[in-house]
Structure 1
Amino acid sequence: MSVPQKHHYVPQFLLRRFADTSKKLLVHHTDKEERPGRVHVGNLAQTFRGHTLYWPGREPDHATIESGMGSIETHTGRVVADLLAGGARSPAPDQREVLGFFIALQWQRSRFLIDLLVRSVLAPDAPVNELERSLGIRQIMHSVLFPWFARLDGEIDPGETACYVADWLQYGPWQWRLYRPDGPKLIVGDNIVCLWGLADGETSEMPEPWTHHGVGVGFGNCGRVTMPLAPNLGLIIHRDGRPDLRNPTAAEFNRATVYSSREFVAHHPEGLPSADLQRALREDLGTQRQLLPIIIEAARRAAEEDARQSDRLFQQLSETEPKPFF
């Protein structure tokens, strides 16, 4: 039996929430000027062998990482279904734990971030061996999947540090709430984990407006995280002491999704339900299309410079004769 080699980096269960009955979405590209088009969820947000593990002297492993990610996705799908069926204002602790792991997974399997990780480790002209071909995926395996299965097996107690992102959002200075617009007003994108603004007392190397586009901001210093879960359900996680970041409008919630995207955003083929939302989306798409080439180029240059500095340091160390400790 053949193993699928096309791997989705945005779960199909989530994309289907935004699609029509034929499982199609209207897709707007943010990385290029192109008319929106209808795309089947099975053909969206996928890459060939994107989650494949490579080992020296072995056949590529197309299934292990996919299976682990699928476990998190399955649990998250159940949580989303329960939240949609109920009327809770915030997720329960066990639901927050699952959503925290899902956020960690989606953040780290972003194709943009995986590319930057590889560039920051390998010099641009460095040869790539079998192990390095799946460098970014191995990071997900160790920092997300191993802790996930350890918790499922009862090997890690709640509150014990295991997955940095999930634990920080669950036990750090954050408030969780659900956003329920009065209708199907939200959009989805290639990067559904949207960081926005700076927390009180935190700083960034970039002016704060750039942090709205995911530049110069991370989980350690951001003020708000949003994630669309369905057209009528979103998740807001904000730092304590930032009431101004708690209650975005639907247009503002969507703006975070557009500004965090590196490839596309999408919604139901019938479109957004109001002219104001449609106009706001057009304006935000225009802004992101103008800035995204600058963001991508600057990020890649910074990552490649990190790799060159690491390579120079390694060369210096290898040419230095170690001195005895005693």
Structure 2
Amino acid sequence: MSAPKKHHYVPQFLLQLFADDRGRLLIHRTDRVASYPSNVRDVGHTNLGHSLYWPSREPDHVTLEQGMSGIEGAAAEVIKTLRSTTTRTVTESQREVLGFLISLQWARSRFLLTTVRRSVTGDVPVDDSNRSAGLLPILMNVLSPWWARARDEFNLKERSSYVVDWLQHGPWTWRLYRPTSAKLVIADNLVCMWGVADGETSDMPTAWTHHGVALGFGNCARITMPLAPDLGLIIARDPYRNRRLSASDFNRATVFNSREFVALHPDGLADDPLRRALDDDIQTQRWILPIIWGATLSAADKDAHEFAALPDPFDPFDGVDG
């Protein structure tokens, strides 16, 4: 049996929670002016996007996909448990699993992968082998620590994952956001960063950081993640950032951090003010996203030019016969 060609960078189990009972979704593009109905299986994927290609080897369409599905399956169980309760707290074991989901989503973000690739190669077309090299951080920084913990590996270096450990043991508070009804939306980017933490800096004005620009795990103030239409996750560094958000606040972070699309139930949002706020935020993101892409790729091209100008690494055996 052949391996599936559709490799999803947005977990299907999460998209399914926002869809109707037939798996249908309403899609609002943020990278262009377009809205249309779609199906869970046709959203947030690239054909063979997680395949590994190495010289003199058969393409590997399975390793990354199987590893990712392990994290997604564990996260699905955690979210199922959380939806069955009314708690607003997240246990240590649940934080670990959700931390790995966050790390995975960050590492396989198409926006991030495109930016990193552009920083190294500029606008030169990339072959399959070089594209595979760009996926190695997923294997090394996300999947390898996940597998090490699953087999109870004693070596802390093998178990270490920067994002997971930082979110779990750093200066963060975790809590669940539970709107009174199904009010949340999902997007291509699930790791929604907002604002600069106290004591940290950013190269961009505050308003841009609300779109996740010039932010990372080291300097952002708040991360939100939609887990279901009636459940969201808030991780904040500064106590006052962990205040009670409205549904429109939560959705705004989701929309402003999107780089491709926003998805929700095909019937849309039932609350009129919430629906109007969502429409306004989508229009704002459609207007500002070309600026974000343009500035990001311009900076990446500059990095690539500077990288190309560096001297070749010293080879002590260069010119030595035998």
- The TM-score range, normalised by the shorter chain, is over 0.9
Structure 1 residue runs of 5 or longer lacking an equivalent are none
Counterpart amino acid of 1:3?
A
2:262 to 265, 271, 274: 265
Of the three residues 286, 292, 303, the one matched with 1:306 is 303
Q: 1:157 to 1:83 in 2, by over 3 A?
A: farther
Distance 1:319 1:73, change over 3 A: closer
**What code does the residue aligned with 1:82 have?**
T
Q: CA deviation at 1:130?
A: 4.3
The answer to whether structure 1 residue 200 and structure 2 residue 198 are counterparts is yes
Counterpart contact for 1:199–1:242, Cα < 8 Å? no
> Equivalent residue for 1:274?
271
CA distance in 2, matches of 1:245, 1:79: 22
CA distance in 2, matches of 1:236, 1:142: 27
Partner of 2:44: 45
Amino-acid identity (%): 53
Between the aligned partners of 1:13 and 1:99, the Cα distance in structure 2 is: 14
TM-score (norm 2): 0.94
CA distance in 1 between partners of 2:129 and 2:2 (Å)? 23
2:90 is matched with which residue?
91
Say if 1:103 and 1:156 are closer, same or farther in 2 by CA, change over 3 A. farther
- Shift, 1:282, TM fit: 0.8
Match of 1:288 in 2: 285
Equivalent position of 1:31 in the other structure: 31
Distance 2:174 2:194 in 1: 15
- In 1: Cα distance, 2:78 partner to 2:155 partner: 21
Partner of 2:166: 168
Compute the displacement of 1:10 (Å). 0.4
SS of the aligned residue for 1:314 comes to coil
Cα offset, 1:321, TM superposition? 12
Aligned-partner residue type, residue 150 of structure 1: A
Q: Give the CA deviation at 1:133.
A: 1.9
How many Å separate the matches in 1 of 2:202 and 2:126? 33
Counterpart of 2:120 in structure 1 is 121
Q: 1:183 aligns with which of 181, 184, 190?
A: 181
Give the superposition deviation at 1:161. Answer: 6.5
Q: CA RMSD in A?
A: 2.0
The residue type paired with residue 193 of structure 1 is V
SS at match of 2:33: coil
Residue matched to 2:252: 255
Q: Which runs of 4+ in 1 moved over 6 A?
A: 157-161, 319-322
2:310 partner SS:
helix
- The alpha carbon displacement at 1:159 in A equals 10
Aligned position for 2:10: 10
Matches within 5 A, 1:100-115: 100-115=99-114
